Amino acid sequence: MAKGLDCGTSYYITATEDSIKKQRNVFLTVDGDANQVKRMLKRQRIPFVEKGGKVHIVGQHAFNYAQIFSTTELKRPMSSGLLNPKEKDALPVLNAIIGELLGKSKGKETCVYCIPAKPIDQTREVSYHEDVLKQIIETYGYDVKVIEESVALAYEGLVDNDLTGIAISMGAGMCNVCVMYQGMSALSFSVARGGDWIDECVANDCGVTKAKVISIKESSKNLDLTKSAINDIYNEGSDEYNIINAIRSYYGALVNYLLTNLTNQFNNAESVPNFPNAIPIVFGGGTSLVKGFMEVVGEQFNQDEFPIEVEKFTLVEDAHTAVARGCLSEAQLIEEEEGEGNEEST
């Protein structure tokens, strides 16, 4: 069975023909006697990792635990879209998360996972990140292939436009961009800003914790970035009003940063397609899920300053899982081609 794996800073998501599974890409260390802690976690059937005498709760259970005990520090195996160099226990945690989502391969199965494109605004390389993830997935018995995150989104979001257009994946640690013409990636890059950058900026400006900002973003049923909604729903001058306004402001700054860099990449590229018609721009990823996001995009876009004509902006269906589904479609195609090759050889 083919599987797709979206390796995000905030979530890992797997897609198969029959199901979608998600797991938060977080962990926390539980203090106390290690043996007693392990017995407690086993009794509650909570996944954990033991490393160097320390016990780490992983995934959604870690997030829930941190919400209850506010003094508990929640950690991430990844930072800004890549392996977190400050977390020495990141690899066993990722191994546990990936193993829980994928399970062991049942025979010859293909798993396609995604990595960021080369970032244009930081010096870190993607190669080590790519190799480590590949090695982890291979330990579970899969035939492993890799594609860029924005290419996976394009496979899912541009399928009705002859795989032609621009795909922008809005993640927590990074945003990834791909310019595609008839299924061929002509230009791709990433920027080291995403939902985490918004959270940090808002927290600093509003004098609240990052956890408070995340809580409002994820738990508020009324969270809406449209201007009219902010004025109608929230009490002006309240903490929530100020935080929502700041979130909207930094969403605009992030989109502007993306579009400016995309324009610069177009202008500086040695070769880009000469699109005969206006093309769509599709968005996906967890940071694009907030209501009012597309209004913010429309406010920041200026056709006169953009190097190509844009037909429309769209948010891909089920935006949070679109990258994983794009990885799945690539894995399915690989298995189909291998099956055809085996038939020809016989």
Residues 226 and 302 in one domain: yes
- The string of pLDDT tens digits covering residues 140-175 is 999 999 999 999 999 999 999 999 999 999 999 999
Question: pLDDT over 70 for what percent of the chain?
Answer: 93
Q: Average the pLDDT over 18-36 and give the result.
A: 91
Return the amino acid letter for 190: S
Please tell me the pTM assigned to this model: 0.91
d(CA 146, CA 109): 14
Say whether pLDDT at 344 is over 70. Answer: no
Q: Average the pLDDT over 286-292 and give the result.
A: 91
Q: Return the pLDDT at 71.
A: 54
- E strands, the chain, in order: 3-7, 11-15, 20-24, 27-30, 48-51, 54-58, 78-79, 82-83, 110-115, 143-148, 165-170, 175-181, 184-191, 279-284, 310-315
Residues 151 and 224 in one domain: no
Q: Return the pLDDT at 34.
A: 87
Residues 315 and 329 in one domain: no
Buried b (16+ CB within 10 A) or exposed e, 148-176: bbbbbbbbbbbeebebbbbbbbbbbbbbb
DSSP, res 307 = S
Q: Return the pLDDT at 341.
A: 64
User: Who has greater pLDDT, 84 or 221?
Assistant: 84
Residues 179 and 275 in one domain: yes
Question: pLDDT over 90 for what percent of the chain?
Answer: 66
Residue 192: give its domain's CATH number: 3.30.420.40
From the centroid of its chain, how far is CA 31?
Answer: 30
Residues 281 and 339 in one domain: no
Task: Please spell the DSSP secondary structure of 62-109, one letter per residue.
Answer: HHHHHHHSTTSPPB-SEETTEE-TT-TTHHHHHHHHHHHHH----SS-
Question: For residue 29, what are the β-bridge partners?
Answer: 56
Residue 231's pLDDT band (cuts 50, 70, 90): low
Residues 147 and 259 in one domain: no
Q: Return the pLDDT at 269.
A: 84
Residues 263 and 176 in one domain: yes
Q: Average the pLDDT over 102-128 and give the result.
A: 94
Of 270, 342, 278, nearest to 307 by C-alpha is 278
SS3 state of residue 14: strand
Q: Return the pLDDT at 334.
A: 96
Tokens representing 197?
Answer: 């950058």
d(CA 77, CA 90): 4
Q: Return the pLDDT at 270.
A: 80
For residue 126, give its domain range.
Answer: 3-156+322-345
- The string of pLDDT tens digits covering residues 315-338 is 999 999 999 999 999 999 999 998
Q: Are 4 and 15 in contact (CB under 8 A)?
A: yes
Q: Are 177 and 168 in contact (CB under 8 A)?
A: yes
Tokens representing 192?
Answer: 């080291």
Q: Average the pLDDT over 241-250 and give the result.
A: 89
Q: Return the pLDDT at 229.
A: 66
Residues 167 and 308 in one domain: yes
Residues 138 and 91 in one domain: yes
Residue 4's pLDDT band (cuts 50, 70, 90): very high
- The string of pLDDT tens digits covering residues 66-104 is 777 765 678 899 988 999 998 988 999 999 999 999 999
**Domain total in the chain:** 2
Least confident of 62-66, 185-189, 333-337: 62-66
Question: For residue 112, what are the β-bridge partners?
Answer: 4, 145
Residues 150 and 170 in one domain: no
Residues 193 and 306 in one domain: yes
d(CA 3, CA 88): 28
Residues 150 and 169 in one domain: no
Tokens representing 161?
Answer: 């436009």
From the centroid of its chain, how far is CA 233?
Answer: 29
The pLDDT mean for the chain works out to 90
